[in-house]
């Protein structure tokens, strides 16, 4: 049985719920953590979100997103850096366990993957001190290679680890491991060992479907797809990861979307019994 005390849920799993309903629903099921979106802050203001989260007793396990550093020109890159600085301040105010960073894809008309990866490293060098003094950890999320062109030029654990190593083990930069993105990786166990539990800032759970046909609707409830979650958990234990397991699951479209209560019940059961 998975430890329910480590269960968190990402807000995008319940896009139809406003912040209060989301926090209320999670608390009712003894979920202890929530992954928040910066949209929440934009809508309600930072002070108000902080008050509501504190009232709920939930930990903010992640704030999504900073990053998207791979802009084609310097002015735009500076904008993204400034935006990431604001995201760091928001994460600090919310006492979030980490700020999730998405690298950004290939700049328009570019085919230079390595150059884009260097842009990410350069941008991190600019924001890392700000994160350190704010007490915020930056969690780099390697995406599925499917999204390398559009969303993230970082697509493997080794990609992220190389960047982490540049900044050293004491820098507030680490890994966000999302099973949906990385379940196929042959070096998963070895890389988790190199990171060590302390540099694994977040683990997100979603299952991968067998027989992929539609790229949009697909983050499954653990147990519905092909991922071996118990083995992954054992590996994370072996490297002494002691952080949360944040479920981020596609809510489904139209008639396929069930009510939030039913969905959360399924999630919690799947987490307890099959993940």
Q: Which residue ranges make up the site for a copy of itself (CB under 8 A)?
A: 106, 111-113, 117, 144-150, 155-156, 158-159, 162, 183-187, 208-215, 226-228
Residue 178: CB atoms within 10 Å: 22
As measured in angstroms, the least distance from the Cβ of 177 to a copy of itself is: 15
Tell me how far, at minimum, the Cβ of 158 lies from a copy of itself, in Å.
6
Cβ-based nearer residue to a copy of itself, 49 or 106 = 106
Minimum CB separation of residue 159 from a copy of itself in Å reads 5
Residue among 50 and 274 whose Cβ is closer to a copy of itself: 274
Task: Dump the DSSP string for the chain.
Answer: ---GGGEEEEGGG-TTS-HHHHHHHHHHTT--EEEEEHHHHHHH-HHHHHHHHHHHT-EEEEEEEEE----SSHHHHHHHHHHHHHHHHHHHHTT-S-EEEE-B-PPTT---HHHHHHHHHHHHHHHHHHHHHHT--EEE-PPPGGGTTTTBS--SHHHHHHHHHHH-TTSSEEEEEEHHHHTT-TTHHHHHHHH-GGGEEEEEE-B--SS---SSS--BPTTSSS--HHHHHHHHHHTT--S-EEE------GGG---HHHHHHHHHHHHHHH-
Nearer to a copy of itself, 48 or 112 (CB): 112
Residue 46 or 239: which CB sits closer to a copy of itself?
239
End-to-end CA distance of the chain: 8
Residue closer to a copy of itself (CB basis): 85 or 218 = 218
For a copy of itself, give the closer residue by CB, 105 or 172: 105
Exposed / middle / buried, residue 22 (Cβ in 10 Å: 0-12, 13-18, 19+): buried
Residue with Cβ nearer a copy of itself (27 or 149): 149
As measured in angstroms, the least distance from the Cβ of 225 to a copy of itself is 8
Distance in Å, CB of 253 to a copy of itself, minimum:
16
Whole-number minimum distance, CB 145 to a copy of itself, in Å? 4
Query: At its nearest, how many Å lie between a copy of itself and the CB of residue 235?
Result: 12
């Amino acid at each position: 049985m998975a430890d329910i005390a480590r269960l968190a849920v990402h807000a995008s799993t319940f896009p139809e719920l406003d912040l209060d309903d989301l926090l209320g629903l999670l608390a009712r099921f003894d979920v202890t953590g929530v992954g928040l979106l910066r949209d929440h802050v934009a809508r309600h203001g930072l002070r108000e979100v902080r008050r509501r989260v504190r009232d709920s007793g939930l930990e903010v396990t992640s704030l999504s997103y900073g990053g998207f550093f791979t802009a084609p020109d310097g002015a735009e890159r500076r904008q993204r850096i400034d935006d990431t600085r604001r995201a760091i301040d928001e994460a600090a105010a919310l006492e979030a366990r980490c700020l999730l960073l998405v690298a950004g894809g290939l700049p328009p008309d570019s085919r230079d993957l390595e150059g884009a990866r260097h842009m990410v490293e350069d941008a991190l060098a600019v924001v890392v001190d700000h994160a350190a003094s704010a007490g915020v950890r930056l969690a780099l999320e390697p995406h599925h290679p499917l999204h390398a062109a559009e969303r993230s030029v970082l697509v493997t654990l080794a990609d992220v680890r190389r960047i982490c190593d540049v900044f050293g083990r004491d820098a507030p930069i680490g890994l966000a491991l999302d099973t949906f993105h990385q379940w196929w990786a042959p070096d998963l166990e070895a890389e988790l060992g190199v990171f060590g539990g302390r540099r694994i800032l977040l683990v997100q759970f979603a299952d991968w479907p067998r027989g992929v046909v539609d790229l949009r609707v697909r983050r499954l409830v653990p147990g519905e797809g092909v991922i071996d979650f118990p083995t992954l958990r054992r590996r994370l234990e072996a490297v002494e990861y002691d952080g949360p397991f944040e479920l981020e699951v596609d809510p489904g479209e139209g008639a396929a979307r069930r009510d939030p209560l039913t969905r959360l019940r399924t999630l919690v059961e799947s987490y307890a019994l099959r993940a």
